[in-house]
Homo-oligomer: A and B are copies of this chain.
Amino acid sequence: MSSEKIATRLYIEQDLRAGATIGLDHSQAHFLRSVLRLEAGVSLGVFNGRDGEWRAEIEAIGKGWVSLLVHEQRRPQERSQDLWLVFAPVKRARIDFIAEKATELGVSRLQPVLTRYTDVSRVNCDRLAATTKEAAEQCERLDLPDVREPITLPRLLETWPSERRLLLCAEAGDATPITEALQKIAGAPGPLAAMTGPEGGFAPTELDALMQLPFVTPVSLGPRILRADTAALAALTCCQSMLGDWKRRPAFRT
């Protein structure tokens, strides 16, 4: 990849190719000019989830507008691991936290699920998407997770793709330690999802219904009661470190 130093990374919507000129939206322009205090001539990294990461130079910058000139590709596009997080929404700071950390940990989809004991009724998906964008820019991902609209648990299960294993993080009941479960799954790999409940846990009837489903594997996350956000992070960490993309480190950082 190109080793020229970049001031920051930005996710943009536009197509990227050498020689393209790109105008940024007002908030990105404000961020570059008034927060980072960048000037014309400075190099940025830009990515759109399709074309890899490119170096772009600030051609001109004013109050509320920026024009970028795209130079050379720094990194080719790569796909994130196919890993979903299905989570019962929790209160504001903690849901932001889940979105940020799940992005850093490399999930491909964030699916809020409304369970019986979920006491958050509205999820601001625009806000979640903004959090994932910022986290992707910061953690050197080349794509964004797909942030889905909330869905009820029964509806989620009705439409679940049966080839995708659902790791049910359950606080109680008959569950295998997550490392053991993942070791077993390693023998018959396929796409994975981790699911965490609300602060009050899953209802007993929900757990009973989930346990009946052939694609569900109940897993335990140790002897303590983890908060919902901790459980989500811990489950994703185990998935990625044992079966995901943690075996490799990009060549440009070795």
**Chain A residues engaging chain B, CB cutoff 8 angstroms:** 93, 97, 100-101, 104-106, 138-141, 171-175, 177-180, 220-227, 230, 233-234, 237-238, 240-242, 244-250, 253-254
Contact = CB atoms under 8 A, between A and B. Distances in A.
Copies in the complex: 2
A172 B249 CA distance: 9
Given A97-B97, A105-B234, 16 more contacts: A104-B225, A104-B230, A105-B224, A106-B222, A106-B224, A139-B226, A140-B224, A140-B225, A172-B254, A173-B254, A175-B249, A179-B247, A180-B247, A222-B244, A222-B249, A223-B245
A224 B142 CA distance: 10
Contacts of A223: 106, 140, 245-246, 248-250
Contacts of A174: 254
Contacts of A250: 223
Contacts of A247: 177, 179-180
- By Cβ-Cβ distance, the 6 closest A-B pairs, closest first, are A222-B246, A139-B224, A237-B237, A234-B237, A172-B253, A179-B241
7 contacts: A97-B97, A104-B224, A138-B225, A139-B225, A178-B241, A178-B246, A238-B241
A186 to B, nearest CB: 11
Given A172-B253, A225-B138, A105 B230 contact: yes
Given A230-B105, A237-B234, A237-B238, A224 B141 contact: yes
Contacts of A175: 249
Contacts of A171: 253
A233 B222 contact: no
A249 to B, nearest CB: 5
* Most interface-central of A223, A240, A247 (chain B CB within 10 A): A223
B104 A242 contact: no
B249 A220 contact: yes
Nearest to A102: B230
A229 to B, nearest CB: 8
A222 B141 CA distance: 12
A179 B138 CA distance: 24
A86 to B, nearest CB: 19
A230 B177 contact: no
B233 A220 contact: no
Nearest to A135: B227
A234 B241 contact: yes
